[in-house]
Chain A
């Protein structure tokens, strides 16, 4: 897309400030609210309260209650009205407070948002964004830890992105808002405040549909996204230091569309692959990646592709969360098994 700019393209002069992922989300929203009057932010507690994770903190003070809107408690109406807003010429950015509570909006998303363009043969399009904090690891109550990315990736007409760094969070939010199609932004809540990074202060977009190679390696490709990227990188560093195994960590960033070229190029280079995700294994996005590798790069493989994932069970309450999530230990085992196969 012609509007796409990446911070790296802007040279060494770029001014930055250290932001956490959640602050970068807010920065991205603020930038787009300032840049385009048709952008509105809406959702439960996003205004006065600044969002339960503070992702929209102070935005209402800055842009007023007409642009940053506290809504009644109704996910279906939040997304349904966003569809109407987009049809009217606005660019709504709706927040689902937690992915686990987006289910009432699922009908609006899959039955309508996903297919307005195809239904009307391109006459109407929906430039709208739905943000959802997702994933576990924060000892939250029931229904607060889900990773349901596959449900949305499976739906033609929706785009799905998930950042794993503050820089990408800001850029993906901006790209999603400027995108002419409905985009779901999955925000890994475990990483909201996990670390800070120098993020360009100016406005930029991170292209949707492009993966990011977080760490180069020759021995194995590790595909992951969002919340699992940090433990994956930690394991890669550990294995390089301890055993000289060089793992290439590919953060997919965009789950729909998938960056098939980066995936297959990486597998062609390394000959081995592991997919790591937090969602349950069965019919997860990992299965799609393995199938893609089979279709495009099977003959480059020196070992079967391994999946390290959440279990095929509801996310447990926190006493057992460490056993459920694809932790470093399981990622490490998955890599070693694949390298030694």
Chain B
């Protein structure tokens, strides 16, 4: 299967090397915000440097992300995919951070960053195929600068740092690396080691903490005694920015500024940035999780009305960039796109031989032997005979 079959986003910002206007957006509170929850540009804030078309594209990504989430949850319930990590409430930040990247920039995502991956060029069909149990879905198309998702928490942080370090060592100063992780990850040694290295070697990396307030059952207040996540940046001598993660325009603005700085720092400016993107995980941690065991239904109050999709939608209507007709056609396009993605993902086939492929460049003699034993058994008994007995 082609793992890259959705149309590639065309939203890419132009690499200018200059400060974007949005950098002047000043925070009304301690979080950077551009839009009110009603979708109005806040006093003192500015519309980021995005055209009407780019804004519509961002909106379409958000609608698609929300529907993908619903669809994937449904597929899991039907047993058509395995455990899925929902992103409802978090897609605004995911889409906006990826919109702030250019093609040559690298994305280092987690298991929850489906929309970030899609907006950086992965197809939803390929993302679904690994959820269907096919490792093929981890293969990232050659023209997309992204790593597959990370499941062990925090491990990607020093790796992303190293990726950025390597680019600067090789003089590739037009590349930045954006690394996602959750609030839980900030407790891991890897987070601290990675950020410390990033500061010491001044690498072109953007570390985005998607603070969705929960690490499975642990609220962020129990995860760390520091008041904010962003203040940890100070310990490593790098810049920290706290942003309203349910405000796509604000997230775009701060990420864009961080990307610019990573590649073209001004005199005395340090390249790495830690962004704390404040948001809320509206659903369960995963389809295997039952949040009623650890949080009240009304916990989300205050966050539910900060729905990133609706927030951008209100703005676009207000500015007359979006009307009912366009919204309707976007909805239809999104359904078609998802239908195709599911169809493609379900058409993937695999072969037991794949188990021993790609363990090394060449399978070892032992792997070949194990594979031929397996092939011989299949030949004699058929695939059904491999099912579990005794359970």
Q: Which residues of A are interface residues toward B (Cβ below 8 A)?
A: 44-45, 47-50, 52, 70, 72-74, 76-77, 100-101, 103-104, 137, 139-144, 190, 194, 230-231, 233-235, 238, 281-282, 311-314, 316-325, 327-330, 333
> Which listed residue, B184, B293, B350, B386, touches A329 by the CB 8 Å rule?
B386
Q: Which of A74, A143, A282, A333 has the most chain B CB atoms closer than 10 A to its own CB? A: A74
Known: A101-B153, A319-B350, A320-B350. A45 touches B218 (CB 8 A): yes
Shortest beta-carbon distance from B298 to chain A in Å: 17
Which residues 175-233 in B have Cβ within 8 Å of A in the complex? Answer: 184-185, 187-190, 215-218, 222-224
Q: Which residues of B are interface residues toward A (Cβ below 8 A)?
A: 82-83, 111, 130, 132-135, 151-154, 184-185, 187-190, 215-218, 222-224, 288-289, 293-294, 350, 352, 354-356, 359, 364, 366-367, 370, 374, 377, 381, 383, 385-391
> Which listed residue, B188, B217, B289, B387, touches A322 by the CB 8 Å rule?
B387
Known: A49-B293, A73-B218, A323-B386. A316 touches B135 (CB 8 A): yes
Additional A-B contact list (18), CB under 8 Å, known A74-B188, A323-B374, A329-B389: A45-B294, A48-B293, A49-B217, A72-B184, A73-B153, A73-B188, A77-B187, A104-B189, A139-B133, A190-B391, A234-B389, A311-B355, A313-B367, A319-B132, A321-B133, A323-B355, A323-B386, A327-B386
**Contact between chains at B152 and A100 (CB < 8 Å):** yes
**Contact between chains at B216 and A49 (CB < 8 Å):** yes
> Which listed residue, B152, B187, B352, B367, touches A101 by the CB 8 Å rule?
B152
> Which listed residue, A73, A140, A231, A233, touches B185 by the CB 8 Å rule?
A73
* Sampled A-B contacts (8; CB under 8 Å): A44-B216, A76-B189, A139-B83, A140-B83, A190-B391, A313-B367, A320-B135, A320-B354
Shortest beta-carbon distance from B110 to chain A in Å: 12
Known: A48-B294, A49-B294, A73-B185. A318 touches B218 (CB 8 A): no
How many inter-chain residue pairs (CB < 8 Å) link A and B?
143
**Contact between chains at B82 and A322 (CB < 8 Å):** no
Chain B residues with CB below 8 A from A76, complex form: 188-189
Chain B residues with CB below 8 A from A137, complex form: 388
Chain B residues with CB below 8 A from A52, complex form: 216, 288-289
**Contact between chains at A327 and B354 (CB < 8 Å):** no
> Which listed residue, B151, B223, B390, touches A73 by the CB 8 Å rule?
B223
Chain A residues with CB below 8 A from B388, complex form: 137, 231, 322, 325, 327-328
**Contact between chains at B355 and A313 (CB < 8 Å):** yes
Top 10 A-B residue pairs of the complex, sorted by shortest distance between their CB atoms: A234-B390, A328-B389, A319-B133, A49-B217, A72-B187, A318-B133, A73-B184, A323-B352, A230-B390, A322-B386
**Contact between chains at B359 and A327 (CB < 8 Å):** no
**Of all chain B residues, which has the CB nearest A142?**
B151
